[in-house]
Structure 1
Amino acid sequence: MKILVFGATGSQQFNVILEGKKKGAEVIATTTSATSFEKLKQAGAMPILANMNDANIMQEITKGIDAIAFMVPVSLPNPFDGLQYAKNVIDAAKTNGVKKIVWNTSGWLAPQKIGIPGEDVKLDISDYLKNSGLNYVIIQPTIYMENMLGPFCAPFVKNEKKLAYPTPEAMPIGWIASRDVSAFVVEAIYNDKLKADSFQISGLENLKGNDLAEQFSKGLGEKIVYYTQPAKEFGDILKPFVGEAGAKGVASYYEGLQNATEFPPKFNPNMSEVLEKLPVQMTSLAQWTKNNKVYFLN
Structure 2
Amino acid sequence: MTYMIHGATGAQGAPVVAALATAGKSVTALTRNPDAVVDGARVAAAGYSSTEELTKAYRGADGVFVHLPAVSEEDRRIYARNIVAAVREARPARVVFSTSGAPIDPDTGGAAAMLVSGLADIGVSHTVITPTLYLENLLMPHVIDTVRERGVLPYPIRADFPVSWASHLDIADAVLALLDRPDITGVVSVGQYPAITGPDLAEAFGAHFGKNVAFEQITPEQFRTSVAPLIGEGPADDVAGAYAAMGTLPDRSITPENSAQKLLGITPRTTGQWLTDIAL
Does the pair score TM above 0.5?
yes
Q: Which residue of 2 aligns with 1:225?
A: 214
Return closer, same or farther for 1:58/1:173 CA change in 2, 3 Å cut-off: same
Aligned to 1:288: 274
1:101 equivalent to 2:91? Answer no
Match of 1:70 among 63, 66, 71: 66
- Which of 211, 233, 249 aligns to 2:238? It is 249
**CA-CA distance at 1:274 after TM superposition:** 3.4
Distance apart, 1:110 and its partner CA: 4.7
* Contact 2:189-2:258 within 8 A present in 1 as well: no
- The CA deviation string for residues 94-139 of structure 1, in whole angstroms up to 9 with x for no partner, is 333311111011015354545xx7xx22212211111012111111
Q: Does 1:122 pair with 2:122?
A: no
2:34 counterpart of 1:48:
no
Count of residue correspondences: 280
Q: Quick check: 1:205–1:284 contact (8 Å CA) kept in 2?
A: no
Distance 1:160 1:69, change over 3 A: same
Query: What's 2:147 paired with?
Result: 157
In the alignment, which residue of structure 1 is the partner of 2:29?
29
1:238 partner SS: helix
Deviates more, 1:197-206 or 1:267-276: 267-276
CA distance in 2, matches of 1:113, 1:192: 28
Q: Is the 8 A contact 2:188 2:258 kept in 1?
A: no
Whether the 8 Å contact between 1:53 and 1:88 is mirrored in structure 2 is yes
Contact 1:220 1:289 (C-alpha < 8 Å) held by counterparts: no
- In the alignment, is residue 186 of structure 1 matched against residue 167 of structure 2? no
1:86 has 2:80 as partner: yes
Residues 167 and 274 in structure 2, CA contact (< 8 A), matched pair in contact too: yes
CA distance in 2, matches of 1:11, 1:273: 22
Is the 8 Å Cα contact of residues 202 and 266 (structure 1) preserved in structure 2?
Answer: no
C-alpha separation in 2, matches of 1:147 and 1:248:
16
CA distance in 1, matches of 2:257, 2:15: 21
**How far does residue 151 in structure 1 lie from its aligned partner after superposition?**
2.2
Give yes or no for contact 2:19–2:176 (8 Å, CA) kept in 1. Answer: yes
Deviations 1:68-116 (A, max 9, x none): 001111223xx133233233233323333311111011015354545xx
SS at structure 2 position matched to 1:131: helix
Aligned to 2:53: 57
- In structure 1, list runs of 5 or more residues that go unmatched: none
CA distance, structure 2, for counterparts of residue 170 and residue 273 of structure 1 = 23
TM-score, L = length of structure 1 = 0.86
Could you tell me which runs of 5 or more consecutive residues in structure 2 were left unpaired when the two chains were aligned. none
| Identity over aligned pairs, percent | 22
- Which letter maps to 1:107? G
CA contact (8 A) 2:166 2:191 kept: yes
> Match for residue 8 of structure 1?
8
Contact 1:162-1:227 at 8 Å conserved across structures: yes
Per-residue deviation, 1:222: 1.7
